Structure 1
Amino acid sequence: MRDILNDLDRDPIDPAASIRAEGRKNLPKRFYKEVSTRAGDSGFEILLDGRSVKTPARVPLAVPTQALADAVAAEWAAQEQLIDPMTMSLTRLVNVALDGVANTREEVADEIVRYMGSDLLLYRAEGPEGLVARQAEHWDPVLAWLDETYGARFFLAEGIRHVAQPEDMVARVAAALPREDVLALAALSTLTALTGSAFLAVALLGGRLDADAAWKAAHVDEDWTIERWGEDAEATARRTARELEMRAAVRLLDLRKA
């Protein structure tokens, strides 16, 4: 059991590495018949044949809502003859939150804040005109929402030249991070790393964007290139894996309060 859960605790931000690692060893066999949930002292627990699932750090795999517990349990129930950790994104994210983020909340939050100082949405292409317009279409509404919601305005830059952002503006958005909510922080950390934008992560947290809109906004430049030059199979596989992780993080944000 412990080896299996260690697999599930693998870093969700690098799904390509996880895929390669899984290819080097056999997947464990499913050893349980029934998956269920119950309300416990730590929240809603996941049970395998009536026994509580533990994280790699040996704490109960428990979440704050029945809806999230049901979603995690569904991942375990969906396993057939073998247990494939790459199909259990919510379970892995919850493990990361309970075992990792719970002990490093401030560090995780501070890393998200560091992204804000050089956020993807602030660095615009110098051309061509079509790409510049597409960036503005997807990114400007998010920046406008940050201004309306938090009174935070930021400087835009062209190309890769670094532009320092006002510390007080960054601080206003940073204050929105739920530092006591380890599940939310784990999801926001994953979203920030996968999209390259803490602002997109905050917009997802605040309900300004849904998963589809955030994914499109994060891949404006990449989609522009693909439309003109195409995409190879390996790049497509990496992108698909990253999108699955991103959508799992959005589900975690939603279900933790459902």
Structure 2
Amino acid sequence: MRIANLSGRLVIVSGDAAFDVALLSAGRFSSNPQAVFDRWAEFVEWGKEADLAAGAGGVIDSADLESPAPLPRQIFAIGLNYHDHASEVGLVASEVPVVFTKFASSIAGPLADIPHPGGDLDWEVELVVVMGAEARNVTPDDAWNYVAGLTVGQDISERVTQHAGVTPQFSLGKSFAAFSPMGPWIVTPDEFPDPDDLALSTVVNGETLQDGRTSDMVASVSMLIAALSKILVLLPGDVIFTGTPAGVGLGMKPPRYLTVGDELVTRIEGIGEMRNRIVGAV
């Protein structure tokens, strides 16, 4: 199943059509895209039997797509989770996940413009996990049972802010306006032949700059969920940015960064793509 946020309303996506969940369920489920995660198991069971043919589906206008997880209570982001990325920035990947947050005000949709705040603006394609159940002390073997689905994300980073000060300011440097685009929709794990092995890429102005596979993560999705849930409670609708492979601008020689007018295309196999344009500061 695929679910999306279409103009602020929860929809099921089938082919190129969107079906409004609140209308299709006769009000059983809210139109609020974030609210569905608190009732995820019930929603999935209903979705298996839902008669989409009986609903008034409409062709999706991609311009109306917003972040499919617009208001998570917690946002986790993982640093140095691919060996090749850690190497390109002169660091060593750690078996203990490097965790920071991206603040919720930075969330944007799959076609949102990204204002350039000045400094060194970098790209980081990331698989984003959306939680579908409260998780506490979860084992790796059981972790996927707590996942609602997967979506595409960009961990946009302003490197000057990130590295200012005595210690790195990861959370601030990665939380300017529209620095956390997600979309175009959430895909449930059962839709993938292997949800632990997906191709992901970043293309800037037609040039492929990142090209990796999620199977190369140091800590897999299940390992991340297990590690986090030993310390805190993961809540329904929380999102986890799982890290980026090699190919970021910071790691190039000389470094290369985004400028106003650039088009950033982010793709993940089996999910889809986002297209974000870099614009002048608001």
Q: Which has the higher helix share?
A: 1
Greater RCO between the two (CA within 8 Å, min separation 6)?
2
With normalisation by structure 2, the TM-score equals: 0.28
Specify which structure has the higher proportion of strand.
2
